[in-house]
Amino acid sequence: MGSNKGLLIVVSGPSGAGKGTICKELLKNNSKINVSVSTTTRLPRVGEKDGINYFFINKNKFENMINNDEFLEYAKVYDNYYGTPKEYVIENMENGKDVLLEIDIVGALQVKERFKDAVFIFILPPSLEELKSRIVGRGTESVSDIEKRYGSAVSEIKQVIKYDYAVVNDDVPTAVEDIESIIKAEKCKVLRNYEEILSKF
Ligand code: 5GP
């Protein structure tokens, strides 16, 4: 059972909570979930590929896309723009496919305004100390970037109240299982299935 429209799953949380790792693992076991590739003005990190990790573009192009209303949401995160291209998400959802967005909190709250029935999942670190050691341990950011990311974590975590679910990322497989359970439960919600139920009985 399930509605004709795909589920929009929004995963966010502070930098270093482990959203990226969790989403990667979730997608490995759930090939039917489609992930939206974001557009960014940030420079690629070593090993990142255009069109796979992000669509890497310059600020001018990004601002043109904003003016042409090509984003479902966008935000300036740590001095760079990040945005979700609208077309891919809408097309997949209309075709009944589930779409995953891994985005920051400002962007997630924009999506909430537009898609009331999307599912909002907040990834929490087990502690602030662990959050910092994960950001440092990634070794991909400069010292000032680490400070910026860590510095905004507490105020970001306070936004958890605006989400539907909170998942603590202490152990990645457990966090992935939690998200799979959330998705299963969401798909059984009466309101998502009411028309189909009525049509059958
Ligand atoms: P990073 O530079 O580490 O790849 O990402 C920085 C932050 O931007 C992360 O919190 C990530 O979730 C967020 N982000 C990635 N793509 C998007 C997007 O399309 N929109 C928004 N609002 N945030 C994004």
Q: Is the pLDDT of residue 72 over 60?
A: yes
Query: What would the pLDDT profile of 9-23 be if each residue is shown by its tens digit?
Result: 999 999 889 999 999
- Residue 119: band (very low, low, confident or very high) from pLDDT cuts 50, 70, 90: very high
Name all domains of the chain by residue range, CATH numbers in brackets: 8-200 (3.40.50.300)
- Residue 148: band (very low, low, confident or very high) from pLDDT cuts 50, 70, 90: confident
Which ranges of the chain would DSSP assign to H, the alpha helix? 19-29, 59-67, 86-94, 105-114, 128-138, 143-151, 153-157, 172-187, 190-200
In which region does residue 36 sit, left (phi positive, over 0), alpha (psi from -120 to 50) or beta (all else)?
beta
- Ligand 1 atom with the smallest distance to the CA of 36 is 19
Distance 21 CA to ligand 1 centre (A): 13
**Per-residue confidence (pLDDT) for residue 14, from 0 to 100:** 92
- The counts of H helices and E strands in the chain are 9, 9
CA 109 vs CA 13, 59, 98, 132, 143: distances in Å: 12, 23, 19, 24, 28
- Ligand 1 atom with the smallest distance to the CA of 106 is 22
Furthest CA-CA distance within the chain? 61
- Residue 1: band (very low, low, confident or very high) from pLDDT cuts 50, 70, 90: low
- Residue 135: band (very low, low, confident or very high) from pLDDT cuts 50, 70, 90: confident
**Per-residue confidence (pLDDT) for residue 147, from 0 to 100:** 84
Distance 103 CA to ligand 1 centre (A): 5
User: How many C-beta atoms surround the C-beta of residue 145 within 10 A?
Assistant: 14
Burial of residue 18 (number of CB atoms within 10 Å: 0-12, 13-18, 19+)? buried
* Averaged pLDDT score across all residues of the chain: 94
| Mean pLDDT to the nearest integer, 53-66 | 98
Q: How far apart are CA 92 and CA 112, in angstroms?
A: 18
